[in-house]
Structure 1
């Protein structure tokens, strides 16, 4: 069994979504059907990864960063995808943090890495923001722990904003 965790950018341009989805599909094709994906299922990269894991018959484990994450952080346009992925998951772990914040996100990323054999990073290579809990922080944490990292950032991919 292979367990892949994901970290990645939330705000992808509309043109980037099919590029990232195709790159994730190609990466997941390298693994047997005995695949588990671990994701926080945030909008953007996390959910794209989770959707692709389930589309190839893999098992999905969801890590929710805080007790209030669904109510406070999931935007109305992402709520149907979020809810569908929660329903599709074989396990949903909601961390004990009451409030979604950088500490909760950092704890969620630590949980992802603890469970994974490899990290898939949908990442443009930008350095950490200094706030903690972001994509670059998670890549650094994985590399420091000796966890292999597969960076996915196809030509033409870009972030919004």
Structure 2
């Protein structure tokens, strides 16, 4: 069994989301050849959700880690609520951290859970230095420092919309 944790940007362009989806599909198929897959995701819009959808479609077991109570409502997930809700129902485990609201501290704690359980961190990441604690770049740095394999997914032509996005 291989446990993969995802970290990635939320602000992917529509074209990038499709490029990333195709790359994740290939990555998951390759990893599934080594045995059953377990995937960890916080289900944020963008990379986290795309990874979770592809994992479930590939027959992997999804573990959801919510950084705070009321995560769905507090993060304004209305735009991707159907996917979010479907993935929560598909999850074999849902872990909700004790924080009362989403914050950098909550994201850092969620990243600790991901890192502690992961054999591989899948980073949908543009390669830029960390913008702050709890984000994609920071988890990549921490994973590498801990000796956890990091697989970067950033296809040719990928771009961000310029909004905030992990």
TM superposition score category, shorter chain reference: over 0.9
Q: Which moved more, 1:23-32 or 1:45-54?
A: 23-32
Supply the distance in 2 between the matched residues of 1:107 and 1:45 (Cα, whole angstroms): 19
| Counterpart residue number, 1:55 | 57
* Matched residue, 2:97: 95
Partner of 1:5: 5
For residues 61 and 74 of structure 1, the distance between their equivalents in structure 2, rounded to whole angstroms, comes to 21
Q: Work out whether 1:139 is the aligned partner of 2:135.
A: no
The unaligned stretches of length 5 or more in structure 2 are: none
Structure 1 runs not aligned, ≥5 long: none
Work out the CA distance in 2 between the residues paired with 1:150 and 1:124: 12
CA deviation digits over 1:113-150, x for unaligned, max 9? 111101000000011113x1000000001011110000
Give structure 1 regions of 4+ aligned residues with deviation exceeding 4 angstroms: none
Deviation for aligned residue 1:74: 3.4
- Per the normalisation by structure 1, the TM-score is 0.97
Q: Deviation at 1:8? A: 0.3
Q: Is the 1:3–1:118 contact (alpha carbons within 8 Å) kept by the matching residues of 2? A: yes
Q: What residue is the counterpart of 2:17 in the other structure?
A: 17
In terms of fraction of residues, the more helix-rich structure is 2
Q: CA RMSD in A?
A: 0.9
Residue-pair matches, total: 160
Find the aligned partners of 1:74 and 1:87 in 2 and give their Cα distance. Answer: 19
Which residue of the partner structure matches residue 85 of structure 1? 87
